[in-house]
Chain A
C-alpha cells in the first residue's frame, strides 16, 4: 500500500488510468441509459417511470460509495499516515455530493407520478438528505483546513475524524427501509439475489458499472488537481522564503 504513497509514482499511474476509466465509463453509462430509454418495456406497476431508475439507482450507489471511500481513506490517513489517503478522501467528496444530489432530484421526480408526492419525510429519504448535508460539511471543513495553513496537520485530522464519524449514516441509509415503515421499496438487489426482471436488471448493472468508472476517473482527476495545488503552494512558499 505504501508503494503508492509516492506522489510521482501515483501521478504516473493516474495519467493512463484516468482516461481508461472515464472513456469506457461514459460509453457504458450513456449506452445503458439509451438502452433503458428506448429498449426496455414499461413496468407493470411503475409504467414509463421505471426508466428513471437507470440514473437514480447508480447515483444512489455512488452517493453511499463516495462516503465509504471518504471513511476508508480517512481511516488509512489516521492510522497509517498514508500521504495520499487524505487527498483521496477530499477528491471523493465533490463527486459523492454531486451524485447524492442527482439521486435526490431524480428520486423526487420519480416519486411525483408514482407516489403522488415529491417528498416524504421517511427514513430512507431523510437519511439520504442528511448524507448530502454531511458532504457539504465535509467539503467546507476540508477547504478550510487547506486554506488555513497554520492549522496544518491538526485540521487535516479533524477532517478525517469527521469523515469517519459521518460513516455511521451509511448503514442507517441501507437498513432504513427494513427498520422503518416506508413508501420506498425494500432492497431489490441483495447479495447473490435479485427480484428485478432480467429486462431491467442488465441495463441497470451496466449503468451502475459505467457510472462507477466515471466516479473513479473523476476521483483520480481531482487527486491530480489537489496534488498539483499542493506542489504549487510548496514551490511558491520555498521561493518566498529564499
Chain B
C-alpha cells in the first residue's frame, strides 16, 4: 500500500524550523549580548 504524501508540506516544515530557529538564535544572542554589555557599563558607572 502506498501513502500519498505531499512532499511540499515536509519541505516547508523543515525550512520553517531551520529559518525560524536560526533567526531566533541570532536575535536572542544579540539581545543577550547587549543586555550583558549594558549591565557591565552600569556597574562601571556606579
Contacts and interface: CB of A to CB of B under 8 A. Distances in A.
Q: Do the two chains belong together in a single complex?
A: yes
B15 A37 contact: yes
Contact of B36 (A101, A106, A232): A232
A239 B46 CA distance: 9
A181 B15 CA distance: 29
Contacts of A101: 21
Contacts of A226: 36
Interface in A32-73: 33, 37, 47-49, 51-52, 55-56, 59
B18 A33 contact: yes
Interface in A180-228: 211, 214, 217-218, 221-222, 224-226, 228
Interface size class of B (residues with CB under 8 A): 20 to 34
Contact of A109 (B10, B32, B39): B10
A30 interface: yes
Contacts of A102: 17-18, 21-22
A48 B13 contact: no
Interface string B8-46: 101101110111011001100110110011011001101
A32 to B, nearest CB: 11
Contacts of B13: 109
Contacts of B10: 49, 52, 109-110, 112-113
Interface residues of A, number: 42
Contact of B33 (A222, A235, A239): A222
B15 A225 contact: no
Contacts of B46: 239
Given A33-B19, A228-B37, A231-B40, A55 B8 contact: no
A114 to B, nearest CB: 9
A214 B36 contact: no
Contacts of B15: 33, 37, 51-52, 55
A204 B26 CA distance: 21
A105 B39 CA distance: 36
Contacts of A20: none
Contacts of A33: 15, 18-19
Interface of A: 22, 26, 29-30, 33, 37, 47-49, 51-52, 55-56, 59, 94-95, 98, 101-102, 105-106, 109-110, 112-113, 116, 211, 214, 217-218, 221-222, 224-226, 228-229, 231-232, 235-236, 239
5 contacts: A56-B14, A109-B17, A113-B10, A222-B33, A228-B39
